[in-house]
């Protein structure tokens, strides 16, 4: 069995058991932020790890979106939005020409990958000069997990995550980009301390011209 087929079975089963097709982690707040950062209309957008297109809906209107995922069943649902879809493993070279997209999106994807640095290099390759990378990762080192570590309790951690990120790790990952912005979202306690309270770190960065 090829790796792509193995991933299709692995993540297809996980998606069906853990989420509904309308689920967007972080809800309306995350969707609205992604829509603003992606921008448009008239953008050519590569949506990596698009699953059913639940988040894609936020930045679809007026833009040309290509969705990529390993889960063929989820891709079939995403295709109903009218977007182009590709069944592909994002840990392999992306099946697109250099400088072919205005925006690349990766929502809650990077933490699942074996080699985030190689993935980000591919993102940079397919972005046009001045193009934008918009993505998000769980804020693993939020206060909830720090307290759990302190008291020896189970961490709030998805078993499919291969990497964990603090804000400094995000900046390091985006060393070849410009205008890096981090946004901390999805917590009722956000005003007290964004970095400690946020469940999600959403970031955007620009490829140099």
Residue 166 three-state SS? coil
113-130 pLDDT, tens digit each: 999 999 999 999 999 999
Residue-level pLDDT at 121 = 98
For 34, 81, 116, the CA distances from 183, given in Å and listed in that order, are 10, 28, 20
Residues of the chain scoring pLDDT < 50? 23
As given in the structure block, the two tokens for residue 151 are 């008291």
- CA–CA distance, 45 with 71 (Å, rounded to integer): 19
Q: Specify the number of domains making up the chain.
A: 1
What residue numbers bound the domain in which 37 lies? 3-206
Identify whether the C-beta of residue 133 lies closer than 8 Å to the C-beta of residue 204.
yes
Q: Residue 189: which CATH number?
A: 3.40.50.150
Residue-level pLDDT at 198 = 85
Identify whether the C-beta of residue 199 lies closer than 8 Å to the C-beta of residue 142.
yes
- CA–CA distance, 186 with 144 (Å, rounded to integer): 13
């Amino acid at each position: 069995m090829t790796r792509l087929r193995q991933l299709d079975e692995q993540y297809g089963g996980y998606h069906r058991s853990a989420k509904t097709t309308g689920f967007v982690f972080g809800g309306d707040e995350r969707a609205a932020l992604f829509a603003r950062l992606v921008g448009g209309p008239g953008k050519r957008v590569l949506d990596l790890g698009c699953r059913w297109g639940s988040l894609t809906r936020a930045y679809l209107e007026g833009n040309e979106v290509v969705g990529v995922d390993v889960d063929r069943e989820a891709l079939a649902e995403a295709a109903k939005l009218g977007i182009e879809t590709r069944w592909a493993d994002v840990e392999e070279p992306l099946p697109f020409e250099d400088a072919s997209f205005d925006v690349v999106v990766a929502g809650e994807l990077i933490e699942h990958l074996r080699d985030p640095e190689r993935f980000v290099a591919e993102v940079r390759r397919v972005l046009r000069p001045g193009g934008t990378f918009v993505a998000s990762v769980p804020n693993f080192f939020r206060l909830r997990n720090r307290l759990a570590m302190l008291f020896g309790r189970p961490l709030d951690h998805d078993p499919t995550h291969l990497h964990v990120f603090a804000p400094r790790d995000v900046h390091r990952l985006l060393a070849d980009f410009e205008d890096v912005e981090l946004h901390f979202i999805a917590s009722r306690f956000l005003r007290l301390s964004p970095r400690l309270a946020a469940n999600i770190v959403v970031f955007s960065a620009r490829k140099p011209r």
